[in-house]
Amino acid sequence: MSLDFKPGAFNDFFRDETFRDDFTYRNSPEGIRRFPFPFDRDDYMYSVNMEPHVPGRKGSVFEHEFDVDEHYVAEMIDRAKVLADDPLRCQSLPHMTLAGWDLLELIMESKARDYPHWFGLEKTGNRWRWINRPLGIDHSFTFLDDSTLPFGPFEYITRQTQGDFTLQDERDGTLWMDAGIATSQADWSVDFDVGMNFHEWHAPVPLAHEKGVFDRALKFLLKLQHGAPVRRFNWTMTVNPLLDTAPETYPKWGPTKTSITPENMGRKQHLRVELQTLYRLPRSNAIAFDIRCYLGKFDEIVTQPKWARRLHRVVRDLPDELATYKGFIRNRPAMVEWLSKYDDGAPTSVGWWPED
Amino acid sequence: MTLTPVTPTIRSRPVYAPLGARPGRMHLIVADGEGAEAVTDMLARTEDAGNLLADAHIMYCPGPTGSDQTAVLQAIGAAQFFRAPSIPAMLPRLARVLSAAHMGTQFYLAGSEGLIGQAERDIMNTGFPFEAIQKEHRGSTLRRVQCVHCKGITENVATDPFRCSHCGLNLFVRDHYSRRMAAFQGVNIDAEDPGDVPAAVVRFK
Ligand code: HEM
């Protein structure tokens, strides 16, 4: 038994595109308008930026619990390729299986509720039938019985869900990353980090420890309640629409950073936004962390005048430590130069929506 | 010679403290090289060292720079003493002892970070709580580093950058440390500018 989805099952909505080789990924005009631009003001610094994950504006990435967009099918094909190349990108320590089932339930119920034309879930006691039309999946299995799925529950459901995921066990007053899948990560290794606690896996982040950001964030998370998820943004920069910027493959994609020129900047340089959501899980008491990556090339971002002005100012004024950590210090001057052409100095309104 | 100082850097980088005798049903002491002195110093500070030694099992091997104090440890009168020629040769015995160790065992790890890290990993995998494990770093600061690219581990890394002993990439040595791997992380230094490798500097001895 395998995850027998039929790659190429694109219809009018799902784009047939690539995140590697010829990089045909792009956002449709509607996709650009709903792009989750992460800056609500003209500057940026780390903070405990968390808010309730409640349904947001219609059509936005906040409308549903798990956003399924035009890139869904292509992203799942890319994930399958990454996992075939490197199975270490998905790990679950033995005690995390129940949390995997919790996550599977959360995702299946949410998607069947929010997108009934694409996903279906029928339950007869513990016998479940899961229908995923975009990926061509129709599986019946027994809930909580691992032997009835082709993968562990965590891998099974995350192979069908956009976004990297980690599952945190709560022990000794902290959170332990005891499971994770990462094929669209901003340069951190799930293989290396699995088994670490909250402060350990965050160790490489500059400035935030000293500001107490992680102490406060952890305190907040330990109080997270089932049924009351929260969300936050993170962001960085990526050359080419490459989802899989893994440290494992850094020798392959690192050299592309030197390929940026004023001429190709708009096309090649992407703002990479992570919409991160956190859920307390009901049976395991674990916390699921969803890191959903959205890529928008500079050409697409600057079609919204407010975003163009703001991105210029944020990139220009970002502390060197953050630009270095995020890996774009070498191209920052060129980015600022390119973006400055789209900034007339006019004031911008508070908030991230393009039209407000 | 005392505890090897560790400059506090980032939160995943292990820190160490002097060993102290604690009540326990069994005392498992795992040491290499100059770690022997951490053990003798602890015993010298302990009033009823004889009691501890009566329930002690010591495993020891020479350190990565050749320091060998077998004779000292062998002579202190532990219920069981074992000398291995190297860390890899010691680990199977440790695994066997752990499989029979009961809760209430106290663990004392001393010596190089490679020894401490690997013993800690195996002890924690067996399900013992980390409060039962004490660690005192003595002697060599050579590092055990995992190449994040090929996943191979290079032992006794002295310079930064260094060449991965498995895939040959030039790696810089981070302070980011995984207890699951018992290793620091090595990342390709010339990924963005292939061939542009700075001269290696001896950082670990
Ligand atoms: C349990 C959930 C979380 C997980 C699994 C997680 C995981 C990570 C990882 C793996 C990194 C990359 C570290 C590296 O360089 O190797 C990171 C970065 C970071 N995390 Fe978290 N994180 C979580 C929650 C949070 C929360 C609640 C905050 C809120 C303040 C936060 C703030 C940050 C920041 C500021 C960075 C640096 C990002 C950048 O500049 O690109 N994290 N996180």
Question: What is the predicted pLDDT for the residue at A58?
Answer: 95
pLDDT in tens, A197-207: 999 999 999 99
Are A167 and A154 contacting, i.e. CB atoms less than 8 angstroms apart? yes
Contact A202 B11 (CB under 8 A): yes
Contact A195 B174 (CB under 8 A): no
Percent of chain B at pLDDT > 90 equals 92
Question: What is the predicted pLDDT for the residue at B9?
Answer: 85
* Cβ of residue A164 lying under 6 Å from some atom of ligand 1: no
pLDDT in tens, B59-113: 999 999 999 999 999 999 999 999 999 999 999 999 999 999 998 999 999 999 9
Mean pLDDT in chain B?
Answer: 96
Question: What is the predicted pLDDT for the residue at B96?
Answer: 96
Distance from the alpha carbon of residue A231 to the mean position of ligand 1, in angstroms: 12
How many residue pairs bridge chain A and chain B with CB atoms within 8 Å of each other? 64
Are B15 and B9 contacting, i.e. CB atoms less than 8 angstroms apart? no
CA atoms within 13 A on the CB side of A345: 0
Between CA A298 and CA A302, with CA A299 as vertex, the angle to 5 degrees is: 80
Cα(B100)–Cα(A122) distance, integer angstroms: 48
Question: What is the predicted pLDDT for the residue at A262?
Answer: 97
ipTM: 0.94
pLDDT at A138 over 80: yes
pLDDT at A114 over 50: yes
* Range list of β-strands (E), A59-195: 90-92, 119-124, 127-132, 137-142, 164-171, 174-181
Mean pLDDT, range A92-108, rounded to an integer: 97
Question: What is the predicted pLDDT for the residue at B6?
Answer: 76
Mean pLDDT, range A131-147, rounded to an integer: 97
Percent of chain A at pLDDT > 90 equals 96
A200 touches chain B (CB under 8 A): yes
pLDDT at B1 over 80: no
Q: Reply yes or no on whether A133 is catalytic.
A: no
A95 touches chain B (CB under 8 A): no
Q: Atom 15, ligand 1: which residue's CA is nearest?
A: A204
pLDDT in tens, A42-76: 999 999 999 999 999 999 999 999 999 999 999 99
Instruction: Report the Cα–Cα distance between both ends of chain B, in Å, rounded.
Output: 15
Question: What is the predicted pLDDT for the residue at A3?
Answer: 57
Mean pLDDT, range A78-107, rounded to an integer: 98
Q: Could you tell me which residues are beta bridge partners of residue B156?
A: none
Contact B174 A191 (CB under 8 A): no
Question: What is the predicted pLDDT for the residue at A81?
Answer: 98
pLDDT in tens, B50-61: 999 999 999 999
pLDDT at B48 over 80: yes
Contacts of B146 in chain A (CB under 8 A): 192
Question: What is the predicted pLDDT for the residue at A10?
Answer: 64
Question: What is the predicted pLDDT for the residue at A190?
Answer: 98
Question: What is the predicted pLDDT for the residue at A9?
Answer: 54
Tell me how close the Cα of A226 comes to any Cα of chain B, in angstroms: 28
Question: What is the predicted pLDDT for the residue at A40?
Answer: 96
Q: What domains, with CATH codes, occur in chain B?
A: 26-137 (3.40.50.80), 143-202 (no CATH)
CB-nearest partner of A251 from B149, B174, B180: B149
pLDDT in tens, A224-239: 999 999 999 999 999 9
Residue count (chain A) = 356
pLDDT in tens, A263-300: 999 999 999 999 999 999 999 999 999 999 999 999 99
Q: For the whole model, what pTM was predicted?
A: 0.95
Between CA A105 and CA A89, with CA A234 as vertex, the angle to 5 degrees is: 55
Cα(B141)–Cα(B122) distance, integer angstroms: 21
* Cβ of residue A218 lying under 6 Å from some atom of ligand 1: no
Distance of CA A304 to the CA centre of its chain: 22
pLDDT at B130 over 90: no
Cα(A35)–Cα(A167) distance, integer angstroms: 26
Distance from the alpha carbon of residue A202 to the mean position of ligand 1, in angstroms: 6
Which of A136-145, A265-274, B4-13, B140-149 is predicted least confidently? Answer: B4-13
Contacts of B149 in chain A (CB under 8 A): 247-251
Mean pLDDT, range A100-111, rounded to an integer: 98
Residue of B nearest to A88 (CA): B151
DSSP state letter for A258: G
Mean pLDDT in chain A?
Answer: 96
Position in ligand 1 atom list of the atom nearest CA A230: 27
